[in-house]
Structure 1
């Protein structure tokens, strides 16, 4: 599971309206019949129109300054392994999203009228998308890059030959392009994989637009707060503030695992990712300390990020973890996290 929470920006400025973001999320509906389209939903309703989403998010911004985000985007990206485990993607993911947003509300160290924040205070709209495209961090793009560069160079040379700016054989260069296209390590439906190409298989993920303000439009609820939990004096009153991201991310895993009876490997956990970032030696010590079958499964998952790890070459003694191996693995895992191959 890979979850991100980001304030929506355009360049260095926060978006003043959700309209552009909503329009972006409508891209998969283009050209589809109404009954084939994927619509927005919230905690209790479905079939919500883009117009209603924009109206409610844009209308819930009282007293926010231009330098403050109006809304946040939460993206929930189940891994291929998690998606394969699901039985009914759209229905299951909607149920999961509604449970997740209850945990989102509980993660605020905030009170509204003397009570804790709950999901009914949150203004949000969610939408399931079914496609992802290849990006620069993906393994297939990285490993195809030398072939893509040579093909681009050859095409440029062909253009120069045809314009009389360069001498050479167009036929031979086209034959070389065909050879490179055929031998590129990553291909899909007979074509070399390039950036922007739609990924194969199930790629379901969830986009959530959540308002910065509570439903009453009186209280600010920022998941971007740098505080987990603190108190501050405002107008003579003690006000609680903060958002516990650790709690939210860990809850997201527990919910998924309980709802779908999913057995999560160590390398798939948020706690492991955090350990990797904060204290890499501990991460690899924990990895080596797993039972043999779980450790084998972990290495297979890591290999999907582009790292092939011969088990025979891995030290069994935790104290013997080689520094070079550690650097290689961390670099590869970081790439995998960024590309969504593994993560929280």
Structure 2
């Protein structure tokens, strides 16, 4: 499970309307019959339209300044192994989202009218998506870019020749393009990976749009605050503040495991991921000390995610900085692809 929380920005500025983001999330419905389209849902209902989402989120920004986020995006990325545990993926993921948003509310160190924040205070809309496309920021696109530039240059030459603006051997240029297409380092189904190409494999994930303001449009609830849990004096009153991200991420795993009787391996846990980032030696020590069966599953999961398991340290002598750095590169790639929940 890999979960992210982020404010929505356009060219460095916070979005003043959720409209563009909703349009982006609606693209997967284009060309599909109404019966096959995925609609937004929340704690109270389903079949919610994009226009309703825009109206509710944009109308819930009282007293927020232009430089403050109006809404946040939570993205839930289940691993293939987690998805296989579901009996009815669509229904199960909706149920999980509704339970996860209870964890989200509990992560706030806040009170509204003297009561702890609950899911009934959170204005949100969620949507399940089944596809992902390669973006310009993806490693595959960036590393293929030199080849893409040369291919485009050759295509311009061919066009100039065809239009009589230049002379040259079109067949030779076409052969060069064909060779570059095959030489590009990142391929999918025998084709060079390009921007906008759908990613293969299971890409099911959930997008959640969360209003910065509570349901009453009077209290600001920011999951982006630096304060985990503190109290400050405001208008002569002691006010709680903060959001426990670590607690939320950990709780989201426990909720999934409890709902679907999922046996989470060490390498899939948020705790393991944090340990890897903060203290790799402890991470690899725990990994090598797992019971035989669990360790075998862990290695299998890592191997499927592209992590070079042959180089994973198995004792203290092998826990060198060089070895750890090499393995962490593999982990970073697995995290970016959301292929395992580390």
Using the size of structure 1 for normalisation, the TM-score is 0.89
Contact 2:131 2:199 in 1 (8 A): yes
- Where 2:208 maps in the other structure, the secondary structure is strand
1:93 matched residue in structure 2:
93
Match of 1:240 in 2: 240
Deviations 1:240-277 (A, max 9, x none): 11111111100111111111222212111111111112
The aligned residue for residue 2 of structure 1 is: 2
Structure 2 partner of 1:56: 56
Match runs of 1:101-140 below 5 Å: 101-135=101-135
Match of 1:316 among 290, 307, 314: 314
Instruction: Find out whether 1:75 has 2:75 as its counterpart.
Output: yes
Which is worse superposed, 79-88 or 6-15?
79-88
Cα-to-partner distance string for 1:31-88 (whole Å, 9 max, x where unaligned): 2221111111110201111111111111111111112111111111111222222222
CA distance in 2, matches of 1:137, 1:19: 23
Deviation, 1:162, is 6.5
C-alpha distance 290-14 of structure 1, shift in aligned 2 (>3 A): same
2:209 counterpart SS class: strand
Deviates more, 1:273-282 or 1:149-158: 149-158
Residues 263-342 of structure 1 correspond to what in structure 2 (within 5 A)?
263-310=263-310, 314-342=312-340
d(CA) in 2 for partners of 1:237 and 1:125? 32
How do 1:155-174 residues align onto structure 2 when only pairs under 5 Å count? 156-157=153-154, 159-160=156-157, 163=160, 170-174=170-174
In structure 2, runs of 5+ residues without a counterpart are none
- Classify the secondary structure of the residue corresponding to 1:327: helix
CA distance in 2, matches of 1:269, 1:166: 60
Unaligned runs of 5+ in 1: none
Task: Summarize deviations over 1:211-237 as a string: whole Å, max 9, x none.
Answer: 111111111111111111111111111
Quick one: distance in 2 between partners of 1:80 and 1:96?
A: 16
Deviation digits for residues 151-178 of structure 1 (CA, Å, limit 9, x no counterpart): 6525634643664699975434534544
How much is the aligned-residue C-alpha RMSD, in angstroms?
A: 2.6
Q: CA deviation at 1:186?
A: 5.9
Which one is further off, 39-48 or 300-309?
300-309
- How many Å separate the matches in 2 of 1:166 and 1:233? 74
Give the drift of 1:342: 2.9
- The alignment's TM-score, normalised by the length of structure 2, stands at 0.89
Which one of the candidate residues 146, 150, 155 is aligned to 1:153?
150
Following superposition, the deviation at residue 330 of structure 1 comes to 1.0
Give the match's secondary structure for 1:208: strand
